[in-house]
């Protein structure tokens, strides 16, 4: 692993035993984010996500002070990087799933990925719902396959809808729709991203129209535009969903990016 990449488990270099488990089992949760000069936008939300996931999947949380200590160790002298903080336990296997306790913490420190292209994304609607959708878990087979299928069909990415046609989220991001000057967030089982939450708070603080309501695939033509958001890409316009074209200029990208930029970088 290069000098600009680091993989630690509980603060120590990852062991062969841990790598063996991670290669053979896929039970755990994670969060990931950009570190900017030692700080993280929405760090409190990422920490809360890790605590909730640890309790739900393993029965015991990792103390916030411990998580911060391990994050600081992984960042080291790097001012800017990308961290992925994962929770797992080598005690949990398909034949022995009942272990309860504090999970191990694996942290990967990598160069920050670039944001998605500024040009509008072309999305393909696929009928799919993530298992345990509110948890950012490590079972990513369905997400990767969805992206592969979308790209093989000539699209950039996949947008998920349930069997009733209700839009939820994308493969690695949340989506927002625009009607007039209002931002509409879809109401459905999904992973509520940290970026989505920060944008919602920022819109509310500016008294900008924003609400959550069911959005169905058959009704997408009633919207003027759409955008996607995640920790690597605070706002990127959508050019089309299936054969339905949107005006990339309809999304309030400058406002959304200004809201993101105004969020304080909380020190690790």
Write out the chain's pLDDT in tens, 268 residues.
555 678 999 999 999 999 999 999 999 999 999 999 999 999 999 999 999 999 999 999 999 999 999 999 999 988 899 999 999 999 999 999 999 999 999 999 999 988 876 679 999 999 999 999 999 999 999 999 999 999 999 999 999 999 999 999 999 999 999 999 999 999 999 999 999 999 999 999 999 999 999 999 999 999 999 999 999 999 999 999 999 999 989 999 999 999 999 999 999 9
According to the model, what pLDDT value does residue 118 have? 66
177-209 per-residue burial string, b: 16 or more CB within 10 A, e: under 16: bbeeeebbbbebebbbbbbbebbbebbeeeebe
Please check whether the two domains, 6-110 and 121-263, share a CATH topology: no
According to the model, what pLDDT value does residue 115 have? 80
According to the model, what pLDDT value does residue 171 have? 94
Options 1.10.150.120, 3.20.10.10, 3.50.50.60, 1.20.200.10; CATH of 121-263:
3.20.10.10
The 10s digit of each residue's pLDDT in 91-142 is 999 999 999 999 999 999 999 988 876 679 999 999 999 999 999 999 999 9
According to the model, what pLDDT value does residue 3 have? 52
According to the model, what pLDDT value does residue 117 have? 67
CA distance 238 to 251: 8
CA distance 95 to 4: 38
According to the model, what pLDDT value does residue 79 have? 81
According to the model, what pLDDT value does residue 113 have? 87
Question: What fold does the segment set 6-110 form as a domain?
Answer: D-amino Acid Aminotransferase; Chain A, domain 1 (3.30.470)
Neighbour tally for 257: CB within 10 Å: 16
According to the model, what pLDDT value does residue 72 have? 96
Length of the chain: 268
According to the model, what pLDDT value does residue 4 have? 62
For the chain, the structural domain boundaries read 6-110, 121-263
């Amino acid at each position: 692993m290069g000098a600009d990449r680091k993989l630690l488990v509980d603060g120590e270099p990852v062991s062969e035993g841990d790598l063996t488990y991670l290669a053979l089992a896929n039970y755990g949760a994670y969060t990931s984010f950009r570190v900017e000069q030692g700080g993280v936008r929405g760090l409190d939300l990422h920490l809360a996500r890790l605590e909730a996931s640890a309790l739900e999947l393993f029965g015991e949380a990792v103390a916030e002070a411990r998580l911060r200590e391990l994050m600081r160790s992984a960042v080291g002298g790097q001012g800017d990087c990308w961290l992925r903080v994962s929770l797992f336990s080598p005690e949990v296997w398909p034949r022995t799933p009942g272990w309860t306790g504090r999970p191990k913490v694996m942290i990967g420190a990598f160069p920050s990925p670039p944001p998605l292209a500024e040009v509008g994304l072309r999305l393909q609607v696929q009928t799919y719902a993530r298992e345990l959708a509110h948890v950012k878990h490590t079972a990513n087979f369905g997400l990767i396959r969805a992206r592969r299928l979308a790209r093989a069909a000539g699209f950039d990415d996949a947008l998920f809808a349930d069997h009733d046609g209700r839009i939820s989220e994308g493969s690695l991001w949340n989506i927002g729709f625009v009607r007039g000057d209002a931002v509409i967030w879809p109401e459905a089982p999904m992973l509520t991203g940290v970026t989505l939450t920060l944008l919602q708070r920022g819109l509310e603080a500016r008294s900008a129209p924003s609400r959550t309501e069911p959005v169905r695939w058959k009704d997408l033509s009633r919207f003027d535009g759409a955008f996607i958001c995640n920790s690597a890409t605070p706002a990127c316009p959508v050019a089309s969903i299936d054969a339905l074209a949107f005006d990339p200029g309809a999304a309030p990208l400058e406002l959304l990016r200004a809201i993101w930029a105004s969020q304080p970088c909380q020190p690790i």
